[in-house]
Structure 1
Amino acid sequence: MAPQSSGGRGGGTRAVSPAPLAPDLRSADDRDKPSRNDSLASQLSTVVGGPVGDHALIGRVRVWTPLRVLFLFTLIFLALGWASKAGCIQQTDGPDGRPTLDWHNGRQYIAMCYSDTVPLYGAERLDEGAFPYKKQWTEETPDGGTETRYMEYPVLSGLYQYLGMQIAKTWDASPLPGALQVVIYFNVIAVGLALAWLVTVWASAMLAGRRIWDAALIACSPLVLVHAFTNFDAIATALAATALLAWARRRPALAGLLLGLGGAAKLYPLLLLGPIVVLCLRADPMHRVPGFGSGLMRVRDIGSGSALRTWVRRTPARIDLLSLRPLGAAAVTVAAATGTWIAVNLPIAVLFPDGWREFFRLNTTRHADPDSIYNVITSFTGWQGFDGRLIHGETPAILNLVSLLLFVAACLAIGYIALTAPRRPRVAQLCFLVVAAFLLTNKVWSPQYSLWLVPLAVLALPHRRILLAWMTIDALVWVPRMFYYLGLDRKGLPEQWFTGTVILRDLAVIALCAVIVRQIYRTDEDLVRRDDVDDPVGGVLDRTPDPLRPWLPELLRPGRIANRYDAPLIRR
């Protein structure tokens, strides 16, 4: 096809198209345009030419597609995140003249470059080439005793460290440019974590649907700069995000498999099963209901009045939940997640039972973490905790019980909101609430755990200014944390400077939860659900009718449900 040209009636200058016109000239006008509807994005867009034009063809760019731009943003922030840790892999000469890491005089805290991966290489005996969970060693305890130790991480995270160690040792033995083995190990681990975060961004962008540019908040999060390489949590975020993507694409078995793998790396992906089950419990119990008249009738056609009463009267009292489509999908996901977690853990548990139990033992005997809400109270009040003073290794039984009960109570409240809200909440909204509740009530909130919330927060509450404010506060907690660990004898900061910023972070997360709950009850304020969108992460729940569920108690039924079944099905 020859290039098209045009000119004036008098045969003036002719403008020639640079290439043949595409056969499909449609524009993705339903895509969210942040440079036009968000003041922050509009101001930032001036760097690249300003907001998108009124008559621009959206979705027609061949090279710089939104996903590729997001990948570019992600790589830039990951590179900056690696640079923020690079100070802790610098070498110097030791007392014996041999090269060693330059961690002298608290450099890892002063430079704020600390990463768990560096000290764990020796602490977990990876430098000896030992297989995790099989290798045991003896450590001195603070009270002067000794204890037997094993790899302290869940199976998938431990095996990832073992794989990184094998690659590092192979590299070190090769003629390739070398460095300290721990430095090579850190870089190998960092490459894998960077790939995992790219997967997280990709899956989140796919889940965002028409709001794909929201994923830029994940790619450019301040928390990526600080914590992308602090620990191994990017593996879990990648598995959790891809699991939600599999659920959104109506592949419940794959979603369960990925959640099971995520649970074998970190605990939190398994928490996402709760929102899926509760929302499926609320969802349309049958797309076609047997027992009504001589044929079948859709639930949305029997939403109220005599038709509903007739269906309830003719339907058996016992409903086989697994035969219902949403609950059946949820059951498949839970079964796949459970089976996958067992399949990954069982070989290690059978071959090295003591090493496998180490993760659970340490989590049971661990005291309140420095930035848990319980330690914050202790820091400002001098309170000795629920269990009083404990020696090393003594289990804080009351603290464990209190944190568990608080989390259960929070989950019950979230479940009540999910079942009784006027309109079924979105999956991402409940997932964020559950994970946030876990972190706020748990006795441990390691700094990198905040990465768990980033993809869920963006999908649940895509308000850019609010999210950037929270992420910035959370990232800045790292500064007083490092100088608190430095110690007052080295001109560090008092504990209250650190715990004070922890309070600000917790309040910011609670504020996010409050806004999400408000939008659950006031769906007109939910940006995701504008333009006739229901739930991009919903999978089998997306556009599903929201029935009365007469088999549940009145207390657990949605409010303001009159005439909701007469509304047309919502398009995605």
Structure 2
Amino acid sequence: MDRTGARSALALPSAVWAATRLMLLLFVLKVFVFPGADVTSDVSVIYQGWYEVLRHGTFPLDDVTWQYPPAAALAVLSPGLLPFLDYSTAFFVLVLLADLAVLVLLLRTGLRPGRTLRGAWVWVAGVPLLGPTVYARYDLMVTAVAVAALLAGARRPRLAGALAGLGAMVKVWPALLLVGASVRGGTPGRRAWVTAAVTAGVVGALFAVAMPGAFAFLTFQRDRGTEVESLGALVLHVARHHGWHGEVLLNYGSIEFLGPQVKAVSAAALLLSAGAFGWLLLWRLRAARFRSHTLADAAFTAVLMFTVTSRVISPQYLVWLVGMAAVCLCFRAGRMTPPTVLVLLAAFVTVLEFPVGFSHVVVSDWYGITLLFLRNGLLLAAALTAARRLWRSTAAAVPAAAPPAPAARPAQAPVRS
């Protein structure tokens, strides 16, 4: 594609990105009021409170809502880079820049041979579907690191590994990015895994030495319940209409179910996560064909599976899936279009559930339950579809059975004349 053609191809997604992101900024800056709960309080109250503690060289040891790996401090402290703005405005601007960085990476990748701009369009359309919540959490920053890691892929395995290791120390889930890195017949996959482990270890050690309480978050989730938006919570939502006497309370920073049978539901979620891990392990043992898009396809599938089985499915988690899906669709030969469509539909339902209809979810009325069934059902369908397609595209083909050899004809006696 020549320069004129490239400029023409990039103009429309760039224009749509600018228009939609302007609207997101206007909502989080409260120039316009988005319907439903105020989504910016996490930044102006919680993040800013953590910022005041972190900038004095310690983690918020007395705050059980701090449940993040130590490098999350970098995201919370980042608004300090823009001292001429108040904390919340600086945070929103930095999220916007991370959003722009993802767009640029996807557009550049989409112009290469064997690639497509479909991935950029997934990002352009998918992020605003989540509403202003996506700009009022630091998950988009982590997603930008994850997208960069996957796009580095096989061409720069050490960079991919370093970014995955750093991302895992910011919010854990990027540890799944390298599940599809091939280690057969060469060293790129091994380099990525080793670099990721070293990066995560070094970052963790530096924080542990420099700031007290770097790993206190590991003990802050012991007594958590089941978050009201999770897949398992659907059982409890329905049970409330049939005499279940539990509670819905703000607990450990999220709205959770507490009461009888909640521990059983949480244990079931952990078993499902263990099952997802087992499936991924089996897939790795059986996978034989690793192509250029396999790394992204496997990462998307893994993040989907662990998101669906989690005790918590917060609205901002969907931006992880949108980012992974966008990378998958950068590859012309990729197989993840159907689960990507399901994720985009789930993103749209998510904004209807939070913040627009969250009051209905909290009281478990049938409107709120219906939204949750739709959103979580779409995510479950996406996970199953992605897993099936990943398996079929990478599993070793069973060799066809050789046809039986024709039976030897019995020797005939010579004919006497």
TM-score grouping bracket, smaller chain normalisation = 0.7 to 0.9
Residue 235 (structure 2) aligned to one of 365, 372, 377: 377
1:256–1:332 contact (8 Å) kept in structure 2: yes
**Displacement after TM superposition at 1:509 (Å):** 2.1
1:187 maps to which residue? 89
| 1:86 pairs with 2:29 | yes
2:117 partner SS: helix
Give the direction of change, closer, same or farther, for the CA distance of 1:205–1:167 in structure 2 (3 Å limit). Answer: closer
> Which of 237, 248, 268 pairs up with 2:154?
248
Name 2:303's counterpart in structure 1: 435
In the other structure, the counterpart of 1:416 is 282
Query: Bigger shift: 478-487 or 393-402?
Result: 393-402
Report the identity percentage.
21
CA distance in 1, matches of 2:286, 2:19: 43
Counterpart for residue 497 of structure 1: 367
The residue type equivalent to 1:110 in the other structure is G
Cα pair 1:81 1:226 within 8 Å, conserved = yes
If the length of structure 2 is used for normalisation, what is the TM-score? 0.76
> Residue 221 of structure 2 aligns to a residue in which SS?
helix
Q: Which residue does 1:272 correspond to in 2? A: 177
| TM-score between the two structures when normalised by the length of structure 1 | 0.57
> What letter matches 2:386 in structure 1?
I
Cα deviation, 1:38-95, whole Å, max 9, x if unaligned, reads: xxxxxxxxxxxxxxxxxxxx434177253454343323222121122232x89xxxxx
Tell me the equivalent position of 1:344.
203
Q: Which runs of 5+ in 1 are unaligned?
A: 1-57, 91-106, 138-147, 173-183, 287-324, 524-545, 547-556, 564-572
For 1:203, give the aligned amino acid: L
Deviation of 1:262 after TM superposition, in Å, equals 0.9
Distance of 2:67 and 2:55 partners within structure 1? 14
- Shift of residue 186 of structure 1? 1.6
Distance 2:358 2:386 in 1: 35
Q: Equivalent residue for 1:447?
A: 315
Structure 2 CA distance, aligned partners of 1:389 and 1:110?
19
**Matched residue SS, 2:115:** helix
The SS at the match of 1:240 is: helix
Q: Please, which of 368, 376, 384 is the counterpart of residue 506 of structure 1?
A: 376
Judge conservation of contact 1:154–1:359 (CA < 8 Å) in 2.
Answer: yes
Q: Aligned to 2:220, what secondary structure does the other structure show?
A: helix
Q: Is the 8 A contact 2:149 2:161 kept in 1?
A: yes
Could you list the per-position Cα deviations for residues 137-164 of structure 1 after superposition, in whole angstroms to 9, with x for gaps in the alignment?
Answer: 5xxxxxxxxxx55844333332222231
Q: Give per-residue Cα distances to partners, 1:503-543, cap 9 Å, x unaligned.
A: 211221232334434544666xxxxxxxxxxxxxxxxxxxx
Q: Measured at CA, do residues 162 and 336 of structure 1 come closer, stay the same or move farther in structure 2, by a change above 3 Å? A: same
AA paired with 2:381?
A
Q: SS of the residue aligned with 1:364? A: coil
What's 1:61 paired with?
4
Corresponding letter in the other structure for 2:319:
L
Q: What corresponds to 2:138 in structure 1? A: 232
C-alpha distance in 2, partners of 1:397/1:111?
28
Secondary structure of the 2:397 match is coil
Please tell me the residue identity of whatever aligns with 1:381. A
Seen in structure 2, the aligned counterparts of structure 1 residues 520 and 136 have a Cα distance that, compared at 3 Å, is closer
* Counterpart residue identity of residue 245, structure 1: L
- Whether the aligned pair in 2 keeps the contact of 1:116 and 1:231 (CA below 8 Å) is yes
**2:36 matched to 1:110?**
yes
Matched residue type, 2:152: A
Q: Does structure 2 retain, via aligned residues, the 8 Å contact 1:432–1:456?
A: yes
Amino acid at match of 1:156: A
After superposition, residues 450-469 of structure 1 pair within 5 angstroms as: 450-458=318-326, 459=328, 467=340
CA distance in 1, matches of 2:263, 2:226: 12
Structure 1 residue 500: Cα displacement: 2.5
Give the 3 Å change call, closer, same or farther, for CA 487–229 of structure 1 in structure 2: same
- Quick one: higher RCO (CA 8 Å, sep 6+), 1 or 2? 2
**What amino acid is aligned across from residue 331 of structure 1 in structure 2?**
R
For the pair 1:158 / 2:26, whether they are aligned, the reply is no
Q: Which residue in the other structure is 1:171 paired with?
A: 84
- Residue 13 of structure 2 aligns with an amino acid whose one-letter code is L
Structure 1 CA distance for aligned equivalents of residues 389 and 228 of structure 2: 33
Distance 2:208 2:265 in 1: 27
Question: Is contact 2:122-2:325 (8 Å) kept?
Answer: no
Deviations 1:109-151 (A, max 9, x none): 6365545212224543x357843634555xxxxxxxxxx5584
Preserved CA contact (<8 Å) 2:342 2:382:
no
Output aligned runs, 1:302-321, within 5 Å: none
| C-alpha distance 133-467 of structure 1, shift in aligned 2 (>3 A) | same
- 1:218–1:454 Cα contact (<8 Å) kept: yes
Question: 1:143: which partner in 2?
Answer: none
SS, match of residue 371 in structure 1? coil
CA contact (8 A) 2:301 2:383 kept: yes
**Amino acid of the residue matched to residue 83 of structure 1?**
L
8 Å CA contact 1:233, 1:451 repeated in 2:
yes
Matched, 1:360 2:265: no
Residue number in structure 1 paired with 2:191:
332
8 Å Cα contact 2:149-2:163 kept in structure 1: yes
Mapped partners of 1:202, 1:561: distance in 2: 43
Change (3 A) 1:403 1:63: closer
Aligned equivalents of 2:115 and 2:180: distance in 1?
A: 23
Partner-residue secondary structure (3-state), 2:215: helix
* d(CA) in 1 for partners of 2:400, 2:357: 57
| Count of residue pairs brought into register by the alignment | 381
**Shift in alpha-carbon separation, 1:152–1:482, aligned structure 2, 3 A:** same
Partner SS, residue 248 of structure 1: coil
Instruction: Structure 2: state its 5+ residue gaps.
Output: 253-257, 402-417
Q: Whole-Å Cα distance in 1 between the matches of residues 296 and 325 of structure 2?
A: 8
For 1:161 and 1:463, the matched residues in 2 are separated by 33
